[in-house]
Structure 1
Amino acid sequence: MIQRIQTLYILISAILIGLLFGLPFAEIAANGKLYLFNIQGILHNGEIVESGLPILAFTGLICVLHLVAMFLYKKRVVQMRVLVFSILLLLGLFGMFYFFTYYSFKGHEISYKVAVVFPLVAIILDYLAIRNIGKDEALIRSIDRIR
C-alpha cells in the first residue's frame, strides 16, 4: 500500500488538510481591531465573532475521505471517485475561505497565512494520485487482456 506513489500523494494531502486544524488562515484588521480567522471561525481576543462550523465540518470530512481513500488501494475505481469527491469538497472549502474573509469584513485589510494554500496543494496532489491510480488500472486491465 505505502509503496505506491499515489498513496504517498494521498497521505501528504491528508497531512496538509490535518494541519488546517491548528494553523490560522488569515488575520483581518478592521475598525482598529485585529481578528484571527482559523478553523473555529473569526475570533477577536479569543472570543468567537463568527462561527466557523461549516469550515470545521468540511475540513473534517475531507480529512476522513483522504484516510478512507488511502485504504481503498484494492478498489482503484472507488478510490478515484472518493478523490474526485474530495477535490470538489476542497474547492468548496476554498470558496468558504473567500466567503468568510470578504463577506464578513468588506474593504478591510486581510493578510493571509500559509495555511490558505494547503487546500490548493491538496487538490494538485489528489489530481496526481488520480492520474497514477488510472495508470495502475490501465496496466491491470491490459494484463488481464493478455491472459
Structure 2
Amino acid sequence: MIQRIQTIFILVAGLLTGSLYVQKFADIIVNDELHIFNAFGILKNQELITNGLPITIFIGLITVLHFVAIFLYKKRILQMRVLGFTMILLLGLLGMFFYFTYASFEEVKVAFKVAVALPVVCVILDWLAIRAIGKDEALVRSLDRIR
C-alpha cells in the first residue's frame, strides 16, 4: 500500500537525489584558482569548463525511478527490482563524482561537500525500502497459504 514505511524511504531518497541539482559537490583548486563542481559541470567564474551532462542525466533518471517506484506498490516484486537498479545507478553516480573531480585536472586540491555523501544515504534508504517490501511480500504470500 502507498501509506507504508517503504514509501517514506523511497520518497526521502527521491527528494535527496532531486536536491542534488541545486547543491555543490566540491570546490576544486587548480593553480590557485577556484573551480566549482555541481550537477551541470565544473565552473570557473560562472564559465563552464567541463560539461556535466552525464551527471545531470543520471540524477534525473534516478529521481524519476524513485517516484515511479512509489506508484508500483501493487507490484511489489517489480518495485524491488526498480529499487535494486536505482541502487546500482546511485553507486555509478558516486563513481562519476570522483571521476569528474580527478580526471578533469592534474594536481588538484579538492574539498568535497555533503552532497557527495547523499547517494550513499539514498542507497541505504533504498535497501531499507527493499527489506520492508520483502516483508510485505512474505506476509501476503503467507496469507495466501492460509486460504
Which range, TM-score by smaller chain? over 0.9
8 Å contact kept, 2:29–2:110:
yes
Aligned-pair identity (%): 60
For 1:114 and 1:2, the matched residues in 2 are separated by: 30
AA of the residue aligned to 1:20: L
State how many pairs are aligned: 147
1:139 equivalent to 2:139? Answer yes
For 1:2 and 1:75, the matched residues in 2 are separated by: 11
8 Å contact kept, 1:39–1:52:
yes
Q: Which runs of 5+ in 1 are unaligned?
A: none
Deviation >6 Å, runs of 4+? none
Alpha-carbon distance, 1:2 to partner: 4.4
SS of the residue corresponding to residue 23 of structure 2 reads coil
Q: TM-score normalized by structure 1? A: 0.98
User: Residue 43 of structure 2 corresponds to which residue in structure 1?
Assistant: 43
Q: Pairwise mapping of residues 8-87 of structure 1 onto structure 2 (< 5 A)?
A: 8-87=8-87
SS of the residue corresponding to residue 22 of structure 2 reads coil
8 Å contact kept, 2:27–2:112:
yes
Alpha-carbon distance, 1:3 to partner: 2.3
SS of the residue corresponding to residue 67 of structure 2 reads helix
For 1:107 and 1:134, the matched residues in 2 are separated by: 47
Alpha-carbon distance, 1:103 to partner: 1.2
Q: Which runs of 5+ in 2 are unaligned?
A: none
AA of the residue aligned to 1:8: I
Alpha-carbon distance, 1:104 to partner: 1.2
8 Å contact kept, 2:41–2:52:
yes
For 2:106 and 2:68, the matched residues in 1 are separated by: 38
Alpha-carbon distance, 1:32 to partner: 1.4
